[in-house]
Chain A
């Protein structure tokens, strides 16, 4: 079966750096996406990696290793507004997004 594994919850301190990992097992792979979802809101796109390596967008970076079926989202200079759930999702060979269960990021002052 297809599956994505990510931690259910991560806690960090304001101003710190946090990494959210995602491992996947899917039928085919086109790319790994990350989405942010605040409580009561809709998912919003953060990043997409199709090739190995690190993609940086402001305070957020995303990494992919296709050989390890692994990726991570790195959030720097954490702010209270970053408190949200973060989802990884893989675009599989059927061009469908397979979603992880999400990681709740708790930020403490």
Chain B
């Protein structure tokens, strides 16, 4: 019962470095999402995917790219990290957008110096 798995759990980057966050789900969900959470704020949607091979922009997509080459995996990339991208990142998935329950990964704490 792995559910949604995110790697890595922690990462420190220097400004300008790149990295990729990996999200994997074993529930055969069509929909996958990447959120960021900053102190005192709710979750903000970065990008999402409605199925294998598809991606779409969310509320705060700038500075991020995503790919969904396989149904079970959703990758979030930072091409040139900035201090403003210091945040906690959560991946989530569900069967359909009208399915009320989101399943979340455990999160990635990213610090950009």
Contact = CB atoms under 8 A, between A and B. Distances in A.
Interface string B33-64: 00000001111110010000000001100000
Assign chain A's interface to a size class: 20 to 34
A97 interface: yes
Interface residues of B, number: 20
Contact of A91 (B43, B90, B100, B103): B100
Interface in B79-113: 90, 97-98, 100-107
A101 B104 contact: no
A42 B106 contact: yes
Contacts of A99: 42-44
A53 interface: no
Given A101-B40, A102-B42, A95 B97 contact: yes
Nearest to A99: B42
Given A42-B90, A42-B106, A96-B58, A48 B100 contact: yes
Contact of B102 (A41, A45, A100, A101): A45
Contacts of B59: 96
A53 to B, nearest CB: 15
B100 A41 contact: no
Contacts of B107: 41-42
A44 interface: yes
A87 B44 CA distance: 12
A96 B90 CA distance: 15
Contacts of A89: 42-43
Interface string A25-37: 0000011010100
Contact of A96 (B45, B103, B105): B45
Interface of A: 4, 8, 30-31, 33, 35, 41-45, 48, 50, 87, 89, 91, 95-97, 99-102
Given A8-B40, A45-B101, A95-B98, 9 more contacts: A35-B102, A44-B104, A45-B100, A48-B101, A50-B100, A97-B43, A97-B45, A100-B42, A101-B41
Interface of B: 40-45, 48, 58-59, 90, 97-98, 100-107
